[in-house]
Amino acid sequence: SRLEGRCSAGSDRAKLCEIMWCGRGARRVAEPEALVSASLDVEVARQTTEEDEQVSAEMWKWFDPRAVGAGREPARATFFAVETPELAKAGAGPKGSTRFLALNGLWKFTWSPRVGSAPRGFERPGFDDRKWGEMPVPGNWELNGHGFPIYTNVQYCFYAKPPTIKYRGKDPRYNPVGSYRRMFKAPACWFEQHLEVFLHIGAVCCGCKVWLNGVQLGFSTDSKLPTEFKLTPHLSRGKNILAVEVLCWNASSYLEDQDAWWLGGITRDVYLFARPPLHIRDIKVCAGADCLLKLDAELCISGAALLAGEALHCELFPRGSESDPEKRVCSFDVPVVGRSQEVATASGEFLCKDVSLWNAEQPSLYTLVVASPETSAGVAEAIALAVGFRTVEIAHSRVMLNGRELTIRGVNRVEHDAVKGHVVSREAMIADIKMMKAHNFNAVRCAHYPNDPVWYMLCDEYGLYVVDEANIESHGIGFLPEHTLANDEAWGEAHMARAQRMVQRDRNHPCILFWSLGNEAGNGINMYRAYMWLKRADPTRIVQYEGARLEPLWSSDKVETIDMNTDVYCPMYPSPAKLKAYAELHEGSSCERPLIMCEYMHAQGNSVGGLQQYWDEISSYGILQGGFIWDWMDQGLASQANGKDIWAYGGDFGPSDTPSDYNFCINGLVQPDRTPSPALQEVKKVMQPLAFKAVDLSEGRIAVCNRYTFQSLENLDFTWSVLADGIEVQGGALPSRLDSSPGVWQEVTIALPRMSCDFEYHLLVMAHVRTDSGLEQAGQEVAWEQWQLEVGHNAAETRADAPLDQPPPSPLAQELSSQVVVTAGPLVATVELSSGLLSGLKYHGLELMSTPLVPNFWRPPTDNDYGVLLPKMCAGWRDAGRQAAVIHGPQVVKHGPVSTQLEVRLSICNGSAELAVSYEISAEGVLVSAVYCPAASKAASRAAPPRIGFRGCLVSGFEDVEWFGRGPHEAYMDRFQSARVGRWQGSILEQTYKYVRPQENGNKFDTRWMALKRRPEDSQCAGLLISAASGSRLLGVQCHRYALEDFDGPEHRDQQHVRHAGELIAREETDFCVDAVQMGVGGIDSWGSLPLPEHRIAPDECFKWSFWLHPIHPGGTTGSTDLAAQARSLRQQRMVDSQ
């Protein structure tokens, strides 16, 4: 049609494209039908059985890459036509119209494991389906009792020999078929009004054939776009039988190799709709920032004679005011012109006045109501379209929206539901958008296919910029020109159809700023043609494609050579250094492509380390305009293992031969039930739309910059507070109202209180939403910043400690045959002579330690650790602490009136390092001091350990924790920006973050002290205070009611003992860690990139740290209940004893 704007193979652009690409080796198919048939015949001959021979001839089309569909209606924009303009204005929609019949619900269904075993003749009205079961529509078979879910990433679940299908498991002919039947009766008014009736199937995986009353209507491929069939010629007034056959995998599956579950079935809504003989078949609306509204429509007239002056009547209203004529923005008619006996067109434009422009921050929408002319029988229709006025363009090497430079704070989103698989409800979509907006996202990439139309409607309404991506990924074929399907003309129609039909469905949505040609599908003649068609069909949007590069593979560090078929440079998983390199090359250019990362920060497991470094670069260079984190949600499926609820991943379903890429589908910022990961908090903080800086903290002067693109700060309330040792001592609203425009800094002065040298002070400034707006609720936190305050000359006098009623008891040291036992008042500490480890700590007779305090150089591998083979590279460090050999000691080196000091030197990891440990024991507790030094001779040949510290285990009875440091969520060396310094508390059980696959978790970074408390307090000991000693570096600490070994895994993660967090079993004891350092978690990717250099432990780096193990007295004057005071007292005790 004219609306499609097809670019034929013979056009000048296509010829130019052919010449350019064929010079690089495009594969041309002289006789495509013969080649396809020949390859099919070979495979069929190899697989044929007696039952297959009867169906192979009629199924051959499934294995012809050029057979993309037949009998289906041309693609069109998403809309539903109701009977009258009044209904359209009232927002009646399908459910308020008599021209809609929902077919969702239970259908008669049978499942067959192979093509040849599917029932024959089931489409006939008289077929006996009484023994069949039922299947929900929409629904995935595998989650409703038929077959099993399969997860793979790059590899197909069948052998990559296009276009044939041969399953990778033991049964090569396994290729399930679902057969559906549904009886329905059409409303009588449809016949009385002579309406045309159509079937809409929202999505089918992976291809379908459709029959009505035994007559085949056609077939369709592309599992993420709708297919529609005209039913009128075959529709009966009484009972009708609709039959659908769904084949799980066919030739088109080679273009659907997304990193996701392979699930079959009808996955979106199915319904019938009726239209008058003269109806709007398709409509295109373009509304720019110049306020010019353009309309281009195609009408079906079915031979009806058009009267002179026939027109589409159009009215524009602000969203929500459609029923108020006083608020109508404009009204105009668009003439209808007949083109043939079947087709008419209508084109027009109108300059609107006083309209607000659409953007994600202020998503101003309007409703365009379009009414068609009446038929001779007086039947008409009307549609309501959401319209957003905006213009997106690239100008001077910047992506611009409405004339302003954009910064994309984006995330990739896969359609996924933990229970329903690929069936996602409207409520779930709203929940996603609400969380995204609350965590400072402004953009989403539909990964890697067109989403349910409802998603785009919601993004229009609530404000998210969208990359709409064609359902094209052939990752498993490879990217070389001689291999990729993108460069094979036999697959040209399949590539083109998927791009075209996406655009034709979605082009009226203002939220869509970018079209994407697909994902990881190579490059070649087919992608060139698709790009050129897109640029011609829709010049109002930007087209992107990550695969548009001359190099077959991308690099994390090197800038690729960008090919012609992308408007932006959209690399995958670049390092911050690569961003900087590109920016330094092109920042000053006005004709280079802006850079927007299509994927970065692979959020698999405990990840997203180094995000701040990315945004430091983005904030420094205008040509770097943000990116999309991979990805939003862990694609786990609700299941059970060992009687416990789990989130299942690859390898958890099917027989042992099921293809699987294990837990690579678990890489989201939220878990399958939308439980936020700690990394999501980091994303929110780093991407916050405000910038803060300290101007002069001694005078309380700070500045705030508005980093929104369009809105001012008028709807934000700002508060401040001063914290002393993590507790707020003073605060309030900022004295000056901040209402600056985008890009503007505004300074404010805060009257700070006097401060005492006894405390550590921090200034916290926070911004919250003032009033409810869209999905934002009043009081919702938007941004914050915190600074440590220096105690200056105006500090209050230091509080003098009360004199002791009596001197502390002198320690008594006893060297036994295997131990040194030191008694100091109520405290008894034991050090093993054979290992040099602190093995016991009693207080008032209660033993606190279940196991010795052991040097620790290992962490349970994260998914990123597995990606760089860290469990193999660092294998020697796994048990290095337990296997440490005593070089010297332990021996008493000092015995004074207050404390006794023991020292021991340990050889670590077969002489790779030495650890010198000192235990200074007094009635206050044990001061542990340690110095770690790697051996210079082995530093270059051995990988550094992932952590350096100690681990221990406390006896049962410890239930709660309080700490002064960063929190409340976990934080690491490269992911701590979102964890502010304060006093935090909770149960010990809550301190474990249960990543879907258990791994390193729960770290508390920059910790001053942590108190592990017993509940209820007993008469012997209230808990254990672990505090950094005076002069020591801040600590990394953890506490868990799970054994650390339960988080751990062997060299290969698929052999892990506890594979799912749901299988973890809490125990009575408490494991804890006290670290000098732990390497960052990384996040550039999860398959080869280490954390950034500044977030690693250098092989030749020495570390020195010290901490107190201080039993907490259950009450009274001897042991203060103020934990901060006790921590300060410990430092003073150390100083007193040193004197």
Angstrom distances, CA of residue 780 to CA of 582, 776, 966: 37, 7, 21
Angle, helices 525-537/492-506, rounded to nearest 10 degrees = 20
How far apart CA 167 and CA 174 sit, in angstroms, is: 6
**According to the model, what pLDDT value does residue 799 have?**
56
567-576, pLDDT tens digit by residue?
999 999 999 9
* Cβ–Cβ under 8 Å, residues 1024 and 848: yes
Lowest mean pLDDT among 586-600, 1011-1025, 1074-1088, 1118-1132: 1118-1132
Sheet of 196-201, strand order: 100-102, 270-275, 196-201, 227-230
Residue 705 pLDDT > 90: yes
Average pLDDT, the chain: 91
- Residue 201 burial (CB < 10 Å; 0-12/13-18/19+)? buried
* Cβ–Cβ under 8 Å, residues 1071 and 1007: no
Mean pLDDT, range 1119-1126, rounded to an integer: 65
- The DSSP output letter for 689 is S
836-866, pLDDT tens digit by residue?
999 999 999 999 999 999 999 999 999 999 9
Can you name the residues that pair with 112 across neighbouring β-strands? 177
How far apart CA 269 and CA 228 sit, in angstroms, is: 12
For β-strands 958-967 and 980-987, DSSP reports them as antiparallel
pTM of the predicted structure, to 2 decimals: 0.93
Count Cβ atoms below 10 Å from residue 983 Cβ, excluding itself: 20
**According to the model, what pLDDT value does residue 25 have?**
43
User: What does the CA dihedral 320, 325, 326, 327 come to, rounded to 10 degrees?
Assistant: 30
Residue with tokens 């107190």: 1108
Sheet of 1009-1014, strand order: 885-895, 899-908, 913-922, 925-934, 1103-1112, 1023-1028, 1009-1014, 958-967, 980-987
Angle, helices 453-462/426-438, rounded to nearest 10 degrees = 40
- The single-letter code of the amino acid at 960 is D
Q: Which entry of 473, 599, 776, 1000 is annotated as an active-site residue?
A: 599
Residue 1034 pLDDT > 50: yes
471-498, pLDDT tens digit by residue?
999 999 999 999 999 999 999 999 999 9
**According to the model, what pLDDT value does residue 2 have?**
30
173-208, pLDDT tens digit by residue?
999 999 999 999 999 999 999 999 999 999 999 899
How far apart CA 568 and CA 585 sit, in angstroms, is: 15
In the residue annotation, 599 being an active-site residue is answered as yes
Mean pLDDT, range 380-389, rounded to an integer: 96
Whether omega before 631 lies within 30 degrees of 0, making that bond cis, reads yes
Mean pLDDT, range 285-294, rounded to an integer: 97
Lowest mean pLDDT among 8-17, 82-91, 321-330, 529-538: 8-17
Residue 939 pLDDT > 80: no
Closest CA to 565 of 492, 486, 627: 486
**According to the model, what pLDDT value does residue 1132 have?**
63
How far apart CA 607 and CA 600 sit, in angstroms, is: 12
Mean pLDDT, range 660-688, rounded to an integer: 97
Q: Which entry of 415, 520, 914, 962 is annotated as an active-site residue?
A: 520
The two structure tokens encoding residue 384 = 């309501």
Query: What DSSP assignment string belongs to 722-741?
Result: EEETTEEEEEEE-SS---PP
Residue 792 pLDDT > 70: no
**According to the model, what pLDDT value does residue 302 have?**
80
Lowest mean pLDDT among 545-559, 866-880, 912-926, 1017-1031: 1017-1031
pLDDT band at 451 (very low <50, low <70, confident <90, very high): very high
Mean pLDDT, range 95-124, rounded to an integer: 95
- In this structure, the chain runs to a length of 1139
pLDDT band at 57 (very low <50, low <70, confident <90, very high): low
How far apart CA 798 and CA 790 sit, in angstroms, is: 15
**Which phi and psi (to 5°) does residue 904 adopt?**
-150, 145
Q: Is 273 left (phi over 0), alpha (psi -120 to 50) or beta?
A: beta
Mean pLDDT, range 882-895, rounded to an integer: 94
**According to the model, what pLDDT value does residue 797 have?**
56
Mean pLDDT, range 115-126, rounded to an integer: 93
Residue 85 pLDDT > 90: yes
**Which phi and psi (to 5°) does residue 713 adopt?**
-95, 15
pLDDT band at 5 (very low <50, low <70, confident <90, very high): very low
941-971, pLDDT tens digit by residue?
789 999 999 999 999 999 999 999 999 999 9
Residue 559 pLDDT > 80: yes
Residue 771 pLDDT > 60: yes
Collect all residues with Cβ–Cβ distance below 8 Å to 106 and sequence separation of at least 6.
134, 135, 136, 137
- Residue 43 burial (CB < 10 Å; 0-12/13-18/19+)? middle
Residue 24 pLDDT > 70: no
In the chain, % of residues over pLDDT 70: 92
Query: What DSSP assignment string belongs to 125-173?
Result: TT---TT-EEEEESEEGGGTTSS--EEESSS-SB-S-TT---BSSS-TT
1045-1062, pLDDT tens digit by residue?
999 999 998 889 999 999
161-178, pLDDT tens digit by residue?
999 999 999 999 999 999
How far apart CA 719 and CA 735 sit, in angstroms, is: 9
394-414, pLDDT tens digit by residue?
999 999 999 999 999 999 999
Query: What DSSP assignment string belongs to 615-655?
Result: HHHHHH-TTEEEEEEE-SB---EEEEETTEEEEE-TTSSS-
How far apart CA 945 and CA 915 sit, in angstroms, is: 13
966-975, pLDDT tens digit by residue?
999 999 999 9
Lowest mean pLDDT among 632-636, 785-789, 1128-1132: 1128-1132
pLDDT band at 46 (very low <50, low <70, confident <90, very high): very low
Mean pLDDT, range 212-232, rounded to an integer: 96
Closest CA to 763 of 784, 782, 783: 784
pLDDT band at 1076 (very low <50, low <70, confident <90, very high): very high
| 93 half-sphere exposure, CB direction, 13 A CA radius | 6
Count Cβ atoms below 10 Å from residue 970 Cβ, excluding itself: 26
pLDDT band at 794 (very low <50, low <70, confident <90, very high): low
Mean pLDDT, range 88-108, rounded to an integer: 95
**According to the model, what pLDDT value does residue 1122 have?**
74
Mean pLDDT, range 252-271, rounded to an integer: 96
- The single-letter code of the amino acid at 53 is E
Is the pLDDT higher at 48 or at 295? Answer: 295
- The single-letter code of the amino acid at 856 is N
Residue with tokens 């409509």: 283
Residue 934 pLDDT > 60: yes
